[in-house]
Every structure is written in structure tokens, then in C-alpha cells.
Structure 1
Amino acid sequence: MFIAYVIVGIALALMLTVSGRTKLARDERIVEGITGLGVPLGWFPFLAASEIAGAIGLVVGIWWAPIGIAAAIGVTLYFVGAVGAHLRKGDIKGLPPAAVLLLAAVATLALRAASA
């Protein structure tokens, strides 16, 4: 289970880092998609910081299980909110990326908890 956590956790951490970077860079596609959900542009630094902190926590969690579990819980909650925002606005087109990341976060949480 531990090796599976390392693989899935690092993959998710990379995806979170890229996602956070696009928010900080205010990539036009990302800005349109997220502001279309009603998220103010002023929240982008907080959202990016949350994703980057989650990525760091998942990597640190390789060596210290409680941090990995806490980071996986935080990332899971983050993407529950993202999926909820897409569903609330009826944005079916933008839903799959958030749903895939939610599933990856849940898998990461389950794998780290099982290997702790």
C-alpha cells in the first residue's frame, strides 16, 4: 500500500502544483472557467496556495504519515468544493477534471491511511 501511496501521491502532487501555478499565472482558460462559477478573482491566490500546500503535504507525507493523511483530507475537501461548485452552476463541461482530482485525492487518502 505504501508504494501505491507514493506513486499516486506524487502524481497528485504534480497535478496540484501545475493547477496552482496556472491559477497564480491567471491562465485565461482557467480564469474564465473559475470566474464563470462565481469565484472572485481575488480568491485565486488562496486557491493556488491551498493546492500547493496540499502538494507539499502529500510529499512530506511519504515520510510522516499524519501530514500525508491531513494533506489528503484537505485536498479531498478542496475538490469536494470544486465538484460542488461545478454541479451548482450546471457546468458539466468543467466537471470531469475536478471529479478526477477528487477521486485521486480520495484514493491517496485511502492509500496513506492504509499504510500508516
Structure 2
Amino acid sequence: MIEVSAVFVSLAVVTVLMSVVLLVSAAAKSLRTRHIAEQMSALGIPPGMMTFLICAQVAGAAGAVAGLRWEPVGIAAAIGLTLYFAGAVAAHLRVGDREGALPAAVLTVVSVTLIVLRVATL
């Protein structure tokens, strides 16, 4: 019988929840609604960068899930997500959008949590 640790279960739960958030966000960006376009414009993000942001979110979700099976991929994905969301925090703060920076800051902390949990299961 395979024994599953509480840390791995925590990692799996956080990974699935983060992946859902990432995929929903990527889907919203891919729709390019007026709200998203206005938000990106206010942050100074050029429209051509949207495809990169969408791909980064999808890759982060896929890497985090794949990392449940192959640890180095999970760690790399979590590091990438940490950098992605830290950049989002910086982009919001640069334009004085403290309210918009909060969700990105929370997701930065969740990304760091993924790193810690993945390393704890090695």
C-alpha cells in the first residue's frame, strides 16, 4: 500500500487550487474583455504581451500539476509562478494600484508555499 504524507496532500490541494486560478485567469485574458483590456492598459502592458501572459499562466498550471509526479518540474514551475506574480505586484504598485496588488501578492505567497511544500516532500 502506498503511504501518502499530509505534506504531499497539502501540496496536491494547493497545486490543484492554484492551477484552477491560473487557468481561469488565462481564460479571462484570452477573452480579451473590455475590463481586462482596460486593466492591462492601465498597468502599461502592451496588447502583444497578452499571449505571453496567457502562456505563462497555462505553463505554470501544467508544470505545477506535472510536478506532483516529477519534483524538479514542480519546483521550477513554482519558482516561475513566484516570479510571475511578484512581477504582477510590481506592475500594480508602479501605477499606484494597491488594491490590484493585493491578489497578486497573495498568489505570490501561494507560489512560495508551493516551493516550500514541494521541497518538503523530497
The aligned counterpart of 1:8 is 14
Whichever of the two has the greater Rg, that structure is 2
The one-letter amino acid paired with 2:81 is V
CA contact (8 A) 1:17 1:51 kept: yes
Decide which of 105, 111, 114 is 2:117's aligned counterpart.
111
**CA offset at residue 93 of structure 1?**
2.1
Q: Which amino acid aligns with 1:16?
A: L
Q: TM-score, normalised by structure 2?
A: 0.91
Paired residue for 1:68?
74
Please name the residue that 2:102 is paired with.
96
Deviation at 1:83? 0.3
The corresponding residue for 2:4 is none
Structure 1, 4-13 or 24-33: larger mean CA deviation: 24-33
| TM-score, length basis structure 1 | 0.95
Measured after TM superposition, the shift of residue 66 of structure 1 is 0.5
Distance in 1 separating the partners of 2:56 and 2:8: 24
Where in structure 1 do 4 or more consecutive aligned residues deviate above 4 Å?
none
Secondary structure of 2:82's counterpart equals: helix
Secondary structure at the aligned position of 1:62 is classed as: coil
Relative contact order higher in (CA < 8 Å, ≥ 6 apart): 1
**Alpha-carbon distance between aligned partners in 1 of 2:41 and 2:103, rounded to the nearest angstrom:** 16
Unaligned runs of 5+ in 2: 1-6
In the alignment of these two chains, the number of paired residues is 116
Q: Partner of 1:90: helix, strand, or coil?
A: coil
